[in-house]
Amino acid sequence: MKTTLVLLLASALAVALLTPCIAEGDVVAPPAIYLPAGSKIVTEVNLSDDDVLGIVKQSIPAIADVAKELLPLRFGENAAAISNAIDVTDLMQAIEGITNVRIVIAKYPSKISPERFVNEFNMGVAKAGKFSKVLTDSAFSGGAAGLYVLPENAGCIGFAYDPYERTVYAARVVGGLDVPKLIKWVGNIAKVALSAEQEKAPDQPSEKAPQDSDTVPENQ
């Protein structure tokens, strides 16, 4: 497992190094996320088809090939069955409609009530486009959460707010995710992996049958 993680991290680093640089002074604006006033962004990740996201999509088949080569180290003779299940076609089709991903983590200098945060985030979403509100909750572990989607699976915005840490986690996806295909892909791998684990597990010793000497005579 550690070897797999190291290789995946190395692949991610290689992707970052191979990403073409944007001309100096020509910074591409990411998809808008309007946070309630007073926030200070401490972490931000922006991916698009024109840079890292596009390269990651192209790299998925190669990453799958690396994973297949590592399977025998973990699953032995059961690796072949799992290898056949790692068909990235459904995964590629599930994410091909996504063109941009933006993630931000922001801090606030003082606590905002969950109810107020939801109301102000709603107003920000209205500025970003014609989103429909799928979910908002101001009782989420004492905090707040929300999910908004565009028509025709064109994108979504979501957030989770922790008033105790005065921190909001927000994300925006531009483009559509084919959820049924993603579920099918994950389900196929999980099913085969679980079957392999069960075959690998040692047989449980059967319960010892009572011997005549072990029985307790009944009172007459």
Tell me the pLDDT tens digit for each residue of 150-189: 998 899 999 999 999 999 999 999 998 887 888 888 887 7
Given pLDDT bands bounded at 50, 70 and 90, which one contains residue 193? low
Digit-coded pLDDT (tens) for 85-132: 667 888 888 888 889 999 999 999 999 999 999 999 999 999 999 999
The residue extents of the domains of the chain are: 2-19+31-196
Which tokens in the block code for residue 126?
A: 């209205």
